[in-house]
Every structure is written in C-alpha cells, then in structure tokens.
A and B are shown apart, each in its own frame.
Chain A
C-alpha cells in the first residue's frame, strides 16, 4: 500500500430537488492498495456517492478523481471494476454469456471470463441462466464481472446484501482474497463486523456527510479515560480546565476524557484535591459499533 490516493473527492454534493440533500460536501480519500470500508446506515448516502464515483450520476457540485480521471471518463472506467447495489444482468442469458457481453463492452479477452468464474467459484453453474440464480450466485457473478478488467480499483456496494450467513462469510473471504496485493477495494457496507474484519481504513457517512475517516484501529482504539464523580458539574469544570472543553464529554452519566490512560493518576489527584468524590476511574475502549453509533447519532439496538 502507498499513500497516494486512487479516489479523491472534494466537497462532493448531490441534491435531489430542493429538499433532499443525499450527499453533502464529502471529502474522501482512498489510498492505493488498501481495503477501504465506506460505512453508514441505510440511506446515509453511500450508494449515491459510489454512483457518482463511477459516473452513473452527476454531482451538483464538488469534484472527484477516480483512478486518475474524472468519474465516468472511459479511460478511468477501464481501470475500475464495480458492483453497484444489485448485480444487473440479462436474465435470459447464462452467467457465462452475461460475462462475455460485459467482456465485449470492456474489450477484454473471453479467456478472462473463465478465470473470473473460477475466482468466484461459479464455473460449474456458469451455463445456467442468470434468471435462475440464487441471490448469492447473482452477487458472485456481479463480483466476477467487476473483476473482468483485472481492475486497479474495485468498488463493491454492499456485496453481502441479501446473503445468508454462510454466503456472507464466503463473500467476505472472497473480498479479502481479492484485496490482497496492489488492488484497491472500496467496500460500502452497513455491517460493522464486515468492515472491521475486512478493511484497513474506514469512512463513516451519516445523513450525507462524511463524519469520520481513519484506520479501523484509530477509530476503535481512540484512547480515553472514563470518570464517575460527584458533583458531576464541578468534576467537568476541573477536567475542562485541565484538558480543554473539547476533550471532555458526558455520556451515560459518566465523563469521557480524550487523554492517555497514563493521565489517570493526575486526574484523580486534581479531582480529589478539588473536593470531588471519585467513584470510578478507568481507561475505556470502544467497539466499532459504539463508535459508529456515536458518529452517526443512531441509537444502539434501534
């Protein structure tokens, strides 16, 4: 992996009419060779953003560069494989024949069709009509089509959608395998576990805004200290004086302070010397799920 960006957007915005702001000034950067998770709840703007990246829809404002070209530029599309939302194929043609149609369009040798069918383990059922495929087979054929061009950048939009647990596990393994080496994978999902298992970095989108972009480790492992103390408001004042207002937040009746856990002793000393009773003081770790719900403002379990 290198640090040059293969996908870069600046203030990318898409509006539908005057009321719906589907994507709001998204600044996103996907580095070459990484598996990037594009995370967000349903309706957050993931698919709209990905559609803009492959040129299917045009932004109202902002810019994007994908594989060195503007979205939808034929030269750029030659280097991108994509599966946006559900796989779109001709139901009366076999899986293999559908891939040959795509290969013709992409000017790819038909030998590659059998190679990608092998990769997605669909060779034995490639002669069957697409209309008779199960959801899992359709998704795998979609991935096969995205791989036909042996692309530098693979954009997969919720590839595990509609799959049963076994199908999801198989798809995750497939994506992990595909993401090995120099290829960049941009994977959108609303499944936290999926992203945590597969991705190097994530971007979290909520209500059309990219609210966070970092490595999974940075996101989960953001260090901090949890404090329960009485009186709470005085404790908050003391801690805000020590670390600044932005470092201190209240959550579930406790104070969260964005500092290294080694500062715990000093925190305890200052609070006690200010006459504040401390009932709990400990480092805290968050799961990706907690971070996600915090960033997107969604309620857990809802």
Chain B
C-alpha cells in the first residue's frame, strides 16, 4: 500500500493539471472576495447585496465555502476524471498493473493521494480566503476577529468532503468511459446543468411528492451542508441527511470505480 501511495504521489506532485488547479482555486477565492469587496464599496441603485462586515475574517469561512461550491466541486470532478481517465489514454494502466501491487491496492493508493490533493486545494482556498478577509479588515481599519477553530474545522471538513465526493464522481466516470475528455464533459455538464434541471423537475412533480428523490442528489446536499454551517435559514435538508447522502455517494462511486477497475480487462 505504501509503495502505491509513494508512486501515486511521485507521479502527481508535479502534474500540470493539479498545479494549475491549485492556482485556479486560489484565483476563485481572490475573485469572490474581490468582486464582493467592490460590490460592498460601490453599491448600486438598490439595496447593498454585500456588506463590508460580511467580508471580515469572522465570516471568511462562509465566503470560502461559497467559492468552494459549485466552482471548486466542478474542478474536483475535472481532476478526478483526468486522474483516472488519462491512465487509459496514455496506456499507463498496464504499466501500473504489471508491477506487483494488486488492482485494488493501486486504486486505494490513487484515492489516498487524490484525497490529499483535495485537502491541499481546500487548504489553499481557506488560506487565501482568510488572508484576503484580513486584508479587507485592515484596509477598513476593522479589528481582526477569527471564527472559532471548530467553525473553521467544520467548514474545512465540509468543503474537503464535497471536493472528494465530486472528485470520486469524476474518477468513476474516467474509469467507466476509459478516457478523461468525455468524463470531464459528462461530469461538468451533470453538476452544472443536468442535476439542477432534474431536481427542479422532481421537486415540482405531483406537488412535491417526490422531493425525497431530489434530496438524494450531490448538489442539493452539498448546498444544504454549506447552508447549515453558514446559518442559512431556508435549508430544508438536515445536516445529518446531507452527510449521509454525501458519504453514500462517496462509497457508491468508490465501489463502481474500484469494481470496474478490478474486473475489467485492460486492452
């Protein structure tokens, strides 16, 4: 197991896709804070959509969670699809599978390293969000007060989980279609379009009788989890339900991808 983790880390640590995604996730955080700062200081004709107070460090967890989903999640799907699909495109899977470690062992090694990368992306998102919020507070002469460690840890854990779940969807797609390009397309379209349309449709059928089906989708539960941590009142899905569904998706995607990888021929 250690051997496969070492190998996976070695091949991924300088991987352009992962390095670029690190920069992108940081860029997303900067973009979110910058645009909100501008809106807070340049109000339009109507009511202020964003207040300066909501951008100070005591609220930074909520702001980075907003940046983490859905944009960060889409990025996680892309990375998962690239990681799993490119092994087929480059023909490296046969090299990996003929070295000694079993197929499931190599899969677990890949998952461990991928999860670590998702943790790194989450850390970058949180670090830049915290730093930017401190800059905004300082620029406005406001004292810097950080959220509790518990709030930071919960927010960090939620985003990390959402990234991993979406990443494993990308990985499962990469294995299923045996290439990265199609897997990326399917994954991103699903996350940003198909799921939204499907949930809206299901919620409205028969006056909401089938809403429970809509409540089983990844996006719905990711939004609910973030909403609970950010004290949004209109959330109808409980935290426990969100966590259960997200972990359920994680396990399901792992079973699908590991199962396919284990039993399917490498041609």
- Please tell me which stretch of A54-62, A189-197, A234-242, A252-260 contacts chain B, meaning at least 4 of its Cβ atoms lie within 8 angstroms of it: A54-62
Number of A-B contacts (CB under 8 A): 82
B101 at the interface (CB under 8 A from A): yes
CB closest chain-B residue, reference A90: B11
Contact between A90 and B92, CB atoms less than 8 A apart:
yes
A182 at the interface (CB under 8 A from B): no
Contact between A91 and B90, CB atoms less than 8 A apart:
yes
Instruction: Digitize B67-95: 1 where CB-to-A-CB distance is under 8 Å, 0 elsewhere.
Output: 00000000000000000000000111111
Closest-CB distance, B184 to chain A (whole angstroms):
18
How many chain A residues touch B (Cβ–Cβ < 8 Å)? Answer: 32
Provide the bound-state CA to CA distance between A104 and B91, in Å: 18
For A92, the chain B residues whose CB sits under 8 A away are 14-16
- Please tell me which stretch of A31-39, A80-88, A167-175, A220-228 contacts chain B, meaning at least 4 of its Cβ atoms lie within 8 angstroms of it: A80-88
**Most chain A beta carbons < 10 A, residue from B11, B14, B98:** B98
Provide the bound-state CA to CA distance between A149 and B101, in Å: 13
Contact between A56 and B100, CB atoms less than 8 A apart:
no
Residues 97-120 of B contacting A (Cβ, < 8 Å): 97-102, 106
**Most chain A beta carbons < 10 A, residue from B7, B94, B97:** B94
Instruction: Digitize A73-115: 1 where CB-to-B-CB distance is under 8 Å, 0 elsewhere.
Output: 0100110101011111111110001001110111100000000
CB closest chain-B residue, reference A107: B3
Contact between B90 and A56, CB atoms less than 8 A apart:
no
A201 at the interface (CB under 8 A from B): no
For B4, the chain A residues whose CB sits under 8 A away are 104-105
Provide the bound-state CA to CA distance between A77 and B98, in Å: 6
For A216, the chain B residues whose CB sits under 8 A away are none
Provide the bound-state CA to CA distance between A90 and B86, in Å: 9
Contact between A80 and B98, CB atoms less than 8 A apart:
yes
B200 at the interface (CB under 8 A from A): no
- Contact residues of B with A, CB < 8 Å? 3-4, 6-7, 10-11, 14-16, 90-102, 106, 265-267
- Contact residues of A with B, CB < 8 Å? 51, 54-58, 72, 74, 77-78, 80, 82, 84-93, 97, 100-102, 104-107, 145, 149
* 12 more CB-based (< 8 A) A-B contacts, given A56-B266, A104-B3, A145-B95: A51-B265, A51-B267, A57-B267, A77-B99, A78-B100, A86-B91, A88-B90, A88-B91, A93-B11, A97-B11, A101-B11, A105-B3
